[in-house]
Amino acid sequence: MTWREFQRLQMVSRVNDRFISHVETGDGPPVILIHGIPVWGYLWHDIYLELARTRRVLIPDLLGFGFSDKADCFDRSIAFQAHMITAWMTQLGIPRATIIGHDIGGGVALRMATLFPARVEALIVMNTVCYDSWPIELMLQFGHPEAHRKLSASLAVRLLRQALKRGFASSRNRKIVDGLLAPYTTETGKLSLIRNAAALNTNHTTEITHLLSGIKVPSLVLWGEEDRFQPIHYGERLVNDIHDSRLIRVKDARHFLMCDQPEIVTKHLLDFFERTVSSRHFKV
């Protein structure tokens, strides 16, 4: 699927004063897939249709990302994104959902599970930011306000494309990387991404560390073993802190494990869905 085909599937919701674009398909219990930085919902294009066989799958672009609102007048921190996703769920009439987050999307998911537990049915994080694992050096530099003047959009995308390659284990089809960066090729897109990077704040995960042990929903930590951006020891730490959780190491995968190993990641997700449903039934 090309990024343009994916974009064409996006719907739109007004949430408070802003708008969020999202793809939605399938029937069943809702599952929300949240991307990280510097990408957008297209990240999930290889795996979401399979999940939609048994689930209502929703893939939002976080505020300031992809084809959601990019106006230069709002907070883009993961703290605010968690509020926005919750408000967006309310808007769509979704009281509770399985939240799957990758990278800073994982940070959003962790905040939701700790701060808005009533909205989270189950939690899956993949190569997520957590504790003080972030922001990575590249994003710190990118988020400097002067970056807007120092980097043209084309140069910024060239640098990001180069950097993103380190997030893939296999030499990916260039079109996928181009698709992941497509919304940021304009000056507006670049500025929005710079503002997103400027909003990355370690405190938004360190401040919830003491709450991780209070997460009561079934949780899965999936990790591309060879990730250079978010090393796996953070995943190991997370499963120690989250009570009902399990770590699955995905071999031959780096940061973008859902692109490196889509079949394996999908299988683990489907297994988790199956087990959590079974365990719920068992508990009942």
Residues that bind another protein (CB under 8 A): 7-12, 17, 19, 21-22, 67, 70-73, 148-149, 152-154, 185-189, 191-192
Q: 126: closest CA among 142, 110, 137?
A: 110
Q: How far is the CB of 188 from another protein (least distance, A)?
A: 4
Contact of 197 with 190, CB cutoff 8 Å: no
Q: How far is the CB of 185 from another protein (least distance, A)?
A: 8
Q: How far is the CB of 21 from another protein (least distance, A)?
A: 4
Q: How far is the CB of 68 from another protein (least distance, A)?
A: 9
Taking every pair of Cα atoms in the chain, the longest distance, rounded to a whole number of angstroms, is: 59
Nearer to another protein, 142 or 256 (CB): 142
Q: How far is the CB of 197 from another protein (least distance, A)?
A: 16
Q: How far is the CB of 5 from another protein (least distance, A)?
A: 10
Nearer to another protein, 11 or 140 (CB): 11
Q: In what order do the strands lie in the sheet with 97-102?
A: 11-15, 18-25, 56-60, 30-34, 97-102, 120-126, 219-224, 245-250
Q: Report CA-CA distances (Å) from 29 to 91, 116, 207, 259, 272.
A: 17, 18, 30, 24, 13
Nearer to another protein, 61 or 103 (CB): 61
Q: DSSP character for 73? A: S
CA gap 133, 125 in Å, rounded: 14
Nearer to another protein, 1 or 11 (CB): 11
Count CB atoms within 10 A of the CB of residue 94. 17
Nearer to another protein, 68 or 114 (CB): 68
CA gap 183, 4 in Å, rounded: 10
CA gap 247, 237 in Å, rounded: 10
Nearer to another protein, 26 or 66 (CB): 66
Adjacent-strand bridge partners of 123: 99, 219
CA gap 118, 151 in Å, rounded: 42
Nearer to another protein, 21 or 77 (CB): 21
Q: How far is the CB of 17 from another protein (least distance, A)?
A: 5
Q: Which amino acid is at 145?
A: P
